[in-house]
Each structure stands twice: as C-alpha cells, then as structure tokens.
Structure 1
C-alpha cells in the first residue's frame, strides 16, 4: 500500500502569539508546549508506517531552520519547496500537488499546518485511516474537531448527517462566528471546528483547482517548471509566483467543491491561536490551582485565571492580585492583556509596526544558516553582539563599507580570514577586522564557537555587507 505524503505548511507568522512569535521567527519554530517545537512535533506526528517522507512548504528565511529542526528529530524530508513570496495556502497546496504529480498523480497528500497540538498521534492516525479510502476514490477529506466550547476564533464545519461513526458529507463552511452564533452551533450538534487539515490525491486537487480556481494553475505550474535546485532546496521561480492572488485553500477551492467529506476527530486538538490557548493547554489533565499558569521565571500572588510567562532567564515576572490576565515577557517586549482579548494581540503588532518599532517583527536574536547572533548593546556609533557558530559552519566571505569589527573568542576556536591572512583564534584571544577588509569567520571544531563582536562605524546596519562567497547561496 502506498504511503501518505505529509505536506507541512510552515511559512506563517503567528502574530496572535506575539511577543514570542514574530515574523522573523514565528510560533511553529518555538517550543511553546513541551521541549520540542511545534514544527518538530507536527513532523513527528506525521511520521511512521502510514506516512512517507514529508514535503515542506516554507520561505527562504526559514529554510535552514526547517532543515536544522528536522535533523534534530532525525527526520529526512522528501523535498523542501521555497515559496518566493507569501501568497497564503492556496498556491502552496497546489505547488505541492503538482510537485508530487510529476512522479505519481495518484499520490495521497495529507496537508497540515505545522503549528497545531495533537497529543495523541495514533488517535489522529486512525482518523486519517477513516478518510483514506475516500481520498483514494477522489474525495477531498477535511478533519473536523469535536467542539468543547463556543469558540469564536475558529471557522466551523456543518456536517450533512452524522459524523460520529465515520466520514460524512460536508454541507458548508462557516466563517468565524460571533459568540451567540457559536453557542447555537455548539448546542446544535451538527457543527465541528475546522482544523484546516486536508487529505486528497494530487490528481484530485489539481482537478479541483482547474474547476474552481483556474487562475492559479498555469502560474504555479510555471513556477515549478522554472524552479531552481539550491543546496537541497527547490526554489520556485519568483516571476510567475509573485503575480498570484493571496488566497487560502478554503476560499479558492474547498468552499466551492461538492466533493468534500468530513472525518470527526474527538480527541484533543489545538491550533494555539492565542495565549488563551496556551493557558488552556497547560491545564490539560491537571488543572492549575485557581487557574494560575506560571513558568519557572514567574510568580503569582493572590491571582486567579492568569498566565504569567517569561522567555528570558534574566526576566522575572510577578503578578499580584490579577484576574483573567495574561502577561508574556521576552528580553525586549512585554505583553499585558485581558485573557478575553487574546485574539486582539495582532492589533498590538500592527500598532508597533506603524510606529516603526523593531519588536513588531524581529527579535534581538537573529537566526542564520551558520548559527545565530544577538545584539547586546546598540549605540550611536558602536554595537556589541554575541555570535554563535555551529560546528563546521562558516560565515560568508565579505567586507563592509561603513564599519570595522573586533572579535573576541569566548568559547571554541575560530578560523578567521582577513584579506590574505588566515589565523586560528582560540578562547580569550581577539582579532581586528579593519574597515573594507575582506574577511570570513569559520568554526573548524566539533562544538559551537562563541565570540563577542564589537562593531564601530558611522553605519551598523545588516545591509552593509558585500558578499564574495557564501556556502549557503545567499544573495
């Protein structure tokens, strides 16, 4: 029996979980629940005998994060397709279908976001088993979650008949409702939450696009035909892709198709669509006393129904006499909000973005294919960074027009090129890179290399880089 190919969608930004989730490093790559990231947990959930190697849809900024996180859980992807620009889920799903159809038009795909929580992977696998015969017969199968509350943050599905004993036809999609409508649907019994997870064959989905959203087919096919292999990734061509509409798969195809079936999933599921969901997840199985959810760096005094969370070792969060409040702190931003306003956190991101605040989209820590750096001090004419380089990794051969750099190695060994001179710099040693010098830093060792960089100059932006060689093919 042919295995199901998981297609993991991992290009979203997750603004409702700001300040932990930001455009530069969104929620799917963070360990919000447990020690593994949501992306890793999703990939592991869709692995095993039922499934083949996954196809991952992501963007250029996240491509090395994807490979690094898959390697950490010993999973090897079938392909990683790089979207030139975010155009929502419709073109991403079609690109994956066209890619798989090149070798097997009957390939069965399970398309899933990479930021959901499903603790019982085997229970979800049994739900997939229920939908598989229908997918092979040309149906599009969606998964509906048995609702437990009148949720206004989810779309809903109205089932034709009874979905309690196996798949049932889908009558219609329902947009995110107001509170009264959600309560009525919860009481009705024929409505399920829309999980946004779909099972179908590649040929079925391509035919559905031709019937309901034909404007996508030729541009996405062209983007795939003109795709360029790059270090194990497949970069879809930007010219045909960038003109595509920004549309979800639900609007483009699903709401127009009459070939949809629903499989009911009654076990626990969450899309972690806000900090209220994180609060609920931390009470599964063992409700917190008085509804107080804290981490090791947070303290609650005389509080009730609160979430207090700190993401930084040097940041202690203390709440006194709070009720129905969430407080989330990082090393550069603090969110304080009423728990009932969890869906409005995205408004904070928009407000910060409009005033030009860096915290709207980026962190102090910037992830790169060779490791990461973190800005420790930023002043008018100097900047101090901590830089961590993975074993065997190397920064690009580069120069700067506006700044010079001083490097002090604090852990490991660096191989440093400055113009024609190559030097090994070990712990407690330093080296100076003059303005305009062509230079490179490498880690030749087997442990991470850590150094402190002091930049001085009239301009310290990350765009003051002229690259001459780069093992990661960055432009």
Structure 2
C-alpha cells in the first residue's frame, strides 16, 4: 500500500493578491478546472496501490480542505492539523508515525500540494521506479530533468546508476535511479547554465518516496529531537470531527527543518529518480505565465480582460473589467480589494510587498473580501464607519452559532432559499424577499433547513462592527 502524504501548509505569498494567508494558492484553481490540492490527489487516482491521502495542513484551512475533498468524492482522507508551521521534516515524521500506528509499514509518497504536472504518465513512470527502489529500503527523491537554467530551484547532482539488491540491473530499463552526489542551493544564472549544460544535475522537486519505517529510522539517527517531539504531538493529539489535531505544546517545541536538510543530505540510503513530466512548482506569476495557454502575442489571459498592443504578459481579472494598453512583459492581477502590477522579471519581490502589508496589519495580506466558513461564506460588499453590508451564503443543512452582539444590530434580507431564524426563544421561517431585524444584545441563530444554498444580505449597524464583538452560546 502507498499512502500519499500531501503537504498543504504553505501560504503562497509570491502569488498575492490571489493567494492570501487564509486562502493560499493550493486552494485555488490556478490552472484547469480543479484546485492545486485537488489536482495533486486526482493525478494519482489511476496508480495501482494508492490509498486515501494523508494531508498535513494549517488548522485555519481545515474546513476548506475537507470541502475540496468532498467535491471530488474523497471522503476518507486523514487531515492532520498543524498548530504552527515547522517545515517538512516534522510533517513527514507525523505522517510516518500515523501510518505505522495502523499496524503496517506502507510506502509514503510525499507531495507538495501546489505543484503543476502536465504529463501524468511521466509522473506515473517515475513513481513506478520509486516504488521499486523504495521497497528495497531506499529513500527516494524525485529530481526534475531541467528544461532551462532556472535560478529559482535547488539542484541535485547525479551519482552512479543504481543496481538492485543482487548487484544486477533492474529487470526493466525504465526503472532507472541514481545515487545522490550532492544537494546544491539555488545558483546564480551562470552556474545554472553550467549545471544544465553538464546534464549531470536535476531540479530538486521536493517530492519523496520511502517506507515509513525507513524514514523514521533515519530521522531517529540524524534528528531524534524531531521524532520525539512529533511522537508527543501525536500521542497527546486528539480527534476533532473529521480532523486530527496535533498537541499544540508538543509540536511548538519541535525544531523546524526540511526533510532535505534533516535526512536526505545525510543518509547513505538516498537515491534520485530523474523525472520528465512537465513539472512546475507554480511558485510565482512568472511560472503561471510559463504554463498558461497563450494567445498569438504570448499573453495569458483570465477573466474579463480587454487589451491593445500588449505582448508577453499575464493578465488576470477576478471581479471587473481589466483594460491594458501598450504593456510588454508585465503581470497584472485584479481582485476585489487589490491590484498587482509588476514587470515579469520582478515577481520574486512580491513577497516583500506582502511583508509590508503584514507589518502594517493590512487585512489584504490575510484574506479576501469573501471569507469561507464551515457553514458557507461571507463576502463584504460595503464598509463604512457605522454600517457594513455583507452577502452571506449558507450551505444546505448548515447553521451558524447561537450568538449575540453588544455593539451592533443586524438586518437580514433573504435573496434565495429559506432561512430558519431564532431570536431569543422565538423561531420562524423567512422566505425569499422577506426580512427580519436583530437588535443588539439579542441571542440569535441562522440556519438553512432547505436543499439549496441560502443567500441573504446582512446589514450591520452600530458603534462597533468588528468580528470580535460576539458571544457564542452554542456552536455547531
């Protein structure tokens, strides 16, 4: 059995303003009809012996990730919640501990949730090779055969070709793996050109395969403090609905490190499988331009975009008309609350912009105007000193917490569906075009008893409209 371990804890700051801390790039449909997370899982569905995934993610994203799996008919994923980020080595340790706790010793296939792979058959060929050598005790990393001198990736230098445990070549010629001579950091352009021309280096993809017991054994050798902290975090963790919460105190005490530094650069059992599958980590807008479908002037266009004399550019409109004249080699991304404009060769600096937003405690660094909740979503339409207007959508069968507010009153107007409203001890139904008023200090709850989404407009008015003006009595 092979357990896919999906690392979904990143924040994707270089794809701001689409990617936000509370709604990162792995949850977005940047290429194709599925989100990055969904695509990562779906491209494994026809590979023999693949189990339901183990997902390691930030607890703030848990309900969105669970919903995305439900939307592609995956109901048995193990979703493990990290209270804090600690890099990939602790995430792998937790997944290995969880996998071995079930009484077997499966292969783990570790995949970041935010990669693009064009050629699924090329991926499957590499996975077959990985399975062959991982079953023989090797710790496999998948190296990407470089297509160009890329300075944004780390590289791995190839060693000699590997034979099987009998000293003979593998039965199938396609089962080719090599020893790892060296991991090297992101190079400058001159060095990257030398690497590619030598044909002796691969890009470091951050994808791995190994037996759960094999990686735990190596981690106990090289980073025992990580294993110990993760053992405590799992032992003291607890089930919570469809999720498993790692113990916060134990996991916070865990050292942060990547699986590359912690194990793969030190182990004597490492091996690399070169892979050609149209891979890209989609870590920047430039990467999205590279993989996107282009028009006759090499532009990649999404949404309502009008252009004249524009070349070699990426233009993305989310909520309104985006018009551009005379641009070349630029990125323009529009959302409801922010617009990004950057030359393509400067997109690596977007992370610095996000850091400035965070330092100024700007909401645009954290979330969009539309915020997703376990019960549905809430989108801010108008904000003023004394009132706010929101569009609220509640999923069939879902309900909000029983709550009250001390500083604001609320008006609800139903646009679509039927609402079950509770005000203190009174309950009643609101149908389309009906409305009700919730005075401040009155306990209330909103529920969707119907079979279609409930859509309504919420108007808040009062002296203070912050989300922290809330007292919850009962929360579903």
TM tier, shorter chain? over 0.9
1:198-235 Cα distance to aligned partner (Å, 9 max, x none): 00011011111111111111111011011111112111
Which residue number in structure 2 is paired with residue 329 of structure 1?
Answer: 334
1:345 is aligned, of 341, 350, 369, to 350
Looking at structure 1, the residues matched to 385 and 308 of structure 2 have their Cα atoms a distance apart, in angstroms, of 41
1:297 to 299, 304, 323: 304
**Cα distance between partner residues in 1 of 2:93 and 2:6:** 13
Structure 2 counterpart of 1:250, from 238, 244, 260: 260
Unaligned runs of 5+ in 2: 163-172
The answer for the alignment partner of 1:96 in structure 2 is 95
Q: 2:379 aligns with which of 359, 368, 374?
A: 374
1:211 aligns with 2:211: no
Displacement of 1:251 in angstroms is 1.9
| CA deviation profile, 1:361-388 (whole Å, cap 9, x unmatched) | 2111111000000111111121111000
3-state SS of paired residue (1:304): coil
Following the alignment from structure 2 to structure 1, what is the Cα–Cα distance between the partners of residues 304 and 267?
49
SS in 2 for 1:253: helix
CA shift for structure 1 position 258: 2.1
TM-score, with structure 2 as normaliser: 0.95
The structure 1 segments of at least 4 consecutive aligned residues displaced by more than 6 Å after TM superposition are none
1:299-323 deviation line (CA, Å, top 9, x unaligned): 22112211111112xx211221111
Matched, 1:35 2:33: yes
CA contact (8 A) 1:143 1:194 kept: yes
Q: Report matched runs for 1:221-370 at 5 Å.
A: 221-283=231-293, 287-312=294-319, 315-370=320-375
Whether 1:119 and 2:126 are equivalent positions in the alignment is no
Give, in whole Å, the separation in 2 of the partners of 1:316 and 1:142. 44
Deviation at 1:290, TM superposition (A): 2.3
TM-score (norm 1): 0.95
Q: Is residue 2:198 matched to residue 1:188? A: yes
249-258 or 224-233, which moves further after superposition? 249-258
CA contact (8 A) 1:413 1:443 kept: yes
Backbone CA RMSD of aligned residues = 1.4
Secondary structure in structure 1 of the residue aligned to 2:313: strand
SS in 1 for 2:282: coil
Contact 2:116 2:279 in 1 (8 A): yes
Aligned residues of 2:123 and 2:276 also touching (Cα < 8 A): no
Report what 1:47 is aligned to.
45
The alignment status of 1:148 with 2:147, answered yes or no, reads yes
The one of 165, 170, 190 aligned to 2:180: 170
Match of 2:461 among 456, 461, 467: 456
Cα distance change, pair 296–25 in 1 and its aligned pair in 2 (3 A) = closer
Deviation at 1:105, TM superposition (A): 4.7
Question: Do 1:349 and 1:360's aligned partners in 2 also have CA atoms closer than 8 Å?
Answer: yes
Aligned pairs, how many? 464
Alignment partners' CA distance in 1, 2:302 and 2:62? 31
Determine the C-alpha separation between the residues in 1 that align with 2:336 and 2:139.
Answer: 45
- Provide the rounded CA distance (Å) in 1 between the counterparts of 2:198 and 2:82: 41
Q: SS where residue 50 of structure 2 aligns? A: coil
Tell me, yes or no, if structure 1 residue 439 matches structure 2 residue 449: no
Q: Partners in 2 of 1:54 and 1:225 — Cα distance?
A: 21
* Cα shift at 1:441: 0.6
239-248 vs 137-146, which moves further: 239-248
Q: Which range is displaced more, 273-282 or 164-173?
A: 164-173
C-alpha deviation, 1:429, in angstroms: 0.7
Verify the 8 A CA contact 1:300 1:308 in the aligned structure 2: no
